[in-house]
Amino acid sequence: MKLDETQEALPKIEFYGGTLGTLLPFFVFVSGVIGIALSGAPDERGFWPILILALGLGLLLCKDRTAFSEVVISGMSQKIVMIMITAWILASIIGVLMTLTGFVEALIWLTDQVKLSGSGFVIATFIICCIVSLSTGSSFATILICSPLLYPTGGVLGAHLPSLAGAIIGGATFGDFIAPISDTTIASALSQDAKIGTTIKSRLKYVFPAALFALVSYGVMAYNNVGSSIADIGGLGNPKGLPMLLVPAFIIYLFLKGKHLLHGLLFGLLFGTVLSLVFGLLPFDKVIVLDIENFTTKSFIIDGINRAVGLSFFTILLMALVATLKASGLMNRLVDFAAAKAKTEKHAEGWIVTVMSMAVLLTTHSIVAIIIVADFTKKTGERLGVPKIRRANLLSLIACIFPFLIPYFIPVILMANMTKTGQEYDIPQVSPLEVGLFNFMSWGLLLMAVITLIFGWGKFNERKD
């Protein structure tokens, strides 16, 4: 399953103040988001005013405000934006459906049967999410499928909530780095003319140490920060919702068959709705009911859409801001500068990592970043002797670190948003800052990236293609 990015030609725009004027709106956005994240506020709606302010500042600083406006609209209307928003909405509706039909209570019943503790559930969550992400090749799909099921269940069991959220996004990161059908794997390998199979095999030496580091870290943090579980877990558990297990299984099956994200989620929603009605798990008045007195309509579908509104508008505004940065040509200037500075193989590896890091941090999109730096990485690597597999691995390492750690990136915001699924059971949300801090899988990959650059980890095997 792949999210295709349509690269639309953007008009070139210039800002008063040169590079500083170009970056100033983005710095306002980043500092505002980090400030809100540090305050512990988990609701992404709080990021809306910051993004509006950043766009307004960009408009004031841009020399051609008509072109700036066109770039903003173009950024908002990208195909990838609509795909993501559709995914947020459908996944949120499915999450509400699974809650209403008693699936969380069924998972609680299962954990009670196997006597799984809250700390044990965190470790199990990481393993489950690794398997799902490896199967689907999508970090987004993993977060969307697993969060509404595992987060409330772990919360009821008394799991350490930041570790639980970190385990979900950590498992999602695992597949994004190593899965054969991952966008990141495909883009990084093909952009460097590396064989996907050989590239994946070479990544085992990175992903296994990082996963082991994550597994131990989740175990230690969860064991030392056990919360209080609901006293009568057995009384809360109820196996009647177990048939709903077929819903995520069906969605994963569709993804494994290569179906489109919309196809998998929409069919999963329709299947889940029919299944829950057949088994008597969902009253029909939860599907749709007219409230004549208050001139409104009530439905679990409406509740799901409302839950996705914050994240959806955040995505629209963020991609608009990123489009202005891309249209300024700043990234192209950075790539040209790095190409001129790289003189040796070790220098080339350092500049590939640096430029890729800057591209990810400034575009907030790993695939877009890979596309931007692909030509520089290939030509510089070939000129200075960096093997194609190693180049692909360096790109993927960076793509699976920052977007899953830093609180203004969509995967982190998405995971924080999905912790709203615990509200039904009075389970608190986790902030974007906590989500990133407890994603031990990405921290493990960061550690491997540092070891790779300093000590040349894995260089011998990566020379074979």
Q: Is residue 11 part of a domain?
A: no
| Angle, CA 329 vertex, CA 327 and CA 332 arms, to 5° | 135
pLDDT digits (tens, 9 = 90+) for 330-360: 877 877 887 787 788 888 888 899 889 988 8
Average pLDDT over residues 425-447: 92
Q: Is residue 309 part of a domain?
A: yes
- Output the DSSP codes for 393-441: HHHHHHHTTGGGTSTTSHHHHHHHHHGGGGGGGTPPP--HHHHHHT-HH
Average pLDDT over residues 76-105: 82
Q: pTM of the entire structure?
A: 0.76
Q: What is the pLDDT of residue 63?
A: 93
Count Cβ atoms within 10 A of the Cβ of residue 343 and give its class: 0-12 exposed, 13-18 middle, 19 or more buried: exposed
Q: Is residue 3 part of a domain?
A: no
Q: Is residue 6 part of a domain?
A: no
Q: What is the pLDDT of residue 68?
A: 94
| Angle, CA 270 vertex, CA 265 and CA 271 arms, to 5° | 95
Domain span including residue 147 = 18-227+236-455
Q: What is the pLDDT of residue 365?
A: 74
Q: Is residue 385 part of a domain?
A: yes
- DSSP H/E element including 291: strand 289-291
Least confident of 51-65, 329-343, 423-437: 329-343
Res. 67 pLDDT band, cuts 50 70 90: very high
Q: Is residue 86 part of a domain?
A: yes
CA distances from 290 to 287, 296, 324 (A): 11, 6, 44
> Does residue 314 have a pLDDT over 70?
yes
Q: What is the pLDDT of residue 2?
A: 42
Q: Is residue 78 part of a domain?
A: yes
| Angle, CA 166 vertex, CA 163 and CA 170 arms, to 5° | 135
The 10 Å Cβ neighbour count of residue 88 is: 27
Q: What is the pLDDT of residue 232?
A: 47
Average pLDDT over residues 94-103: 83
Q: Chain-wide mean pLDDT for the chain?
A: 84
Q: Contact at 8 Å (CB) between 123 and 166?
A: no
Q: What is the pLDDT of residue 110?
A: 75
pLDDT digits (tens, 9 = 90+) for 203-241: 989 999 999 999 999 989 888 876 655 444 555 567 888
- Quote the tokens at residue 417: 């948003």
Token pair 């689907």 is at which residue? 136
Q: Is residue 85 part of a domain?
A: yes
Q: What is the pLDDT of residue 35?
A: 79
Average pLDDT over residues 123-141: 84
Res. 15 pLDDT band, cuts 50 70 90: very high
- Quote the tokens at residue 233: 């877990």
> Does residue 4 have a pLDDT over 60?
no
Share of the chain above pLDDT 90, in %: 27
Least confident of 36-40, 391-395, 396-400: 36-40
User: How many structural domains is the chain composed of?
Assistant: 1
Neighbouring C-alpha atoms within 13 Å toward the C-beta of 116: 20
| Angle, CA 1 vertex, CA 431 and CA 195 arms, to 5° | 110
Q: What is the pLDDT of residue 40?
A: 59
Q: Give the length of the chain.
A: 465
Q: What is the pLDDT of residue 36?
A: 77
Least confident of 24-28, 256-260, 299-303: 256-260
Instruction: Name the DSSP class of 63.
Output: S
Q: Contact at 8 Å (CB) between 280 and 100?
A: no
> Does residue 389 have a pLDDT over 70?
yes
Q: What is the pLDDT of residue 174?
A: 94
Average pLDDT over residues 189-208: 87
> Does residue 276 have a pLDDT over 90?
yes
